[in-house]
Amino acid sequence: MRYRIHSFRHAEIILNNEPTFSTVWNELLSAIDSMTDDEIIEHHEGNPRLAKSISESINNILKVKLVHLGWNEESYIFQDDEYSGNRWRLDFAKDSISVEVAFNHGEAIAWNLIKPVLAGELNHVKKEIETEIGVIICATKDLKTKGGFDGAVGEYEKFLTYLNPLRDVLSVPIVIIGLEAPDSFEIDVQKIDGKKQGIVKRF
């Protein structure tokens, strides 16, 4: 799958050049690179829930690939049981890199950006994962449109507009990865039996 990258606080330079991070970083990129259109179509069309967008398929395919490589899924930011809800989890983590797959509402953009900071900054709650670099994976505008995503989903281009206003808050280096639209198909959203469903249209 194609993607674009935006680096905040020199995150990409650090990931590419520091041996501590480069192996894990390359694992993540390889997992994204290896996602094919056919793989996404097969998962989407095989989903008994008849999803509207391919967001669930991308998320699940990526999960399988990363877990196979030894990544932890849904790691808690903090060890304290008081913070054990979904809000306090990272989607994936390995060593000191945390990953959020952010296909949720645009109102959650700031929270998605702040979660790696909470996992990396010193505070009064003991961490489960000591994050040094955060990665946010999100949809570009083009993927949103052609992948059947809801219009309210926060896209890559919108994430970038949050970085400068939050610069003093976002103390951890962060990479924003914007997933591009598939090359060989798009999703046609149709209302079937009163429910919106995403139908694959191959080019």
Give tens-digit pLDDT for 14-63.
999 999 899 999 999 999 999 999 999 999 999 988 899 999 999 999 99
Sketch the domain layout of the chain as residue ranges. 3-202
Residue type at position 38? D
Instruction: Cite the beta strand spans of the chain per DSSP E.
Output: 3-8, 72-76, 89-94, 97-101, 133-139, 174-179, 185-192, 195-202
Looking at the domain covering 3-202, what would its CATH class be?
alpha beta
Q: Output the pLDDT for position 125.
A: 47
Q: Is 144 in contact with 178 (CB distance < 8 Å)? A: no
Distance between CA atoms of 167 and 169, rounded to whole angstroms?
5
In contact, 130 and 120? CB cutoff 8 Å: yes
Residue 194: band (very low, low, confident or very high) from pLDDT cuts 50, 70, 90: confident
The tens digit of pLDDT for each residue in 158-173 reads: 999 999 999 999 999 9
